Structure 1
Amino acid sequence: MGRVAAIGEQTRVAGLALAGVTALVAEEPDAVRRAWRELPPDTTLVIVTPAAARALDPGRLEGTGPLVEVMPS
């Protein structure tokens, strides 16, 4: 089974770590893109906040690679 990661603002992703999710805090667009590039290779699901989703290239959200789910606002 692959890893689950979350990228976004600390207030939105920190609690997911309690469930075993790799929480990557990224408050600014550049930090979001850096966190995406540094995802562990065994990541199969990435949960992103709405702000993080806006910072990523739309192709990342729909392309090959890990499944991406955007948190509700």
Structure 2
Amino acid sequence: DARLQRLQALLTEQQRAAQDAMVGRVVGVLFEKTGRLPGQLVGKSDHLHAVHVEAPESLMGQIAPVRIVESGPNSLKGELIG
């Protein structure tokens, strides 16, 4: 049990470091669904991170460039470019 907890903590730490390293980068995001907030879409980045962005629904199913501005526990926040 202790070994499993250490492994899970290490995985969480590595995931967080990978997400934090994405801040400031521009990535392609494939928009898949609407987000929790009005006007928000959620998609996957080139690196398969979940990204939420204020974007028009016309981008649903499309890939668009997004600048990552914030890293959260389970997703990234981005801004649509262009």
TM bucket by the smaller chain?
A: under 0.3
Greater percentage in strand: 2
Provide TM-score, normalisation by structure 1: 0.27
* Structure number with higher relative contact order (C-alpha < 8 Å, ≥ 6 residues apart): 1
Provide TM-score, normalisation by structure 2: 0.25
Structure of higher CA gyration radius: 2
Greater percentage in helix: 1
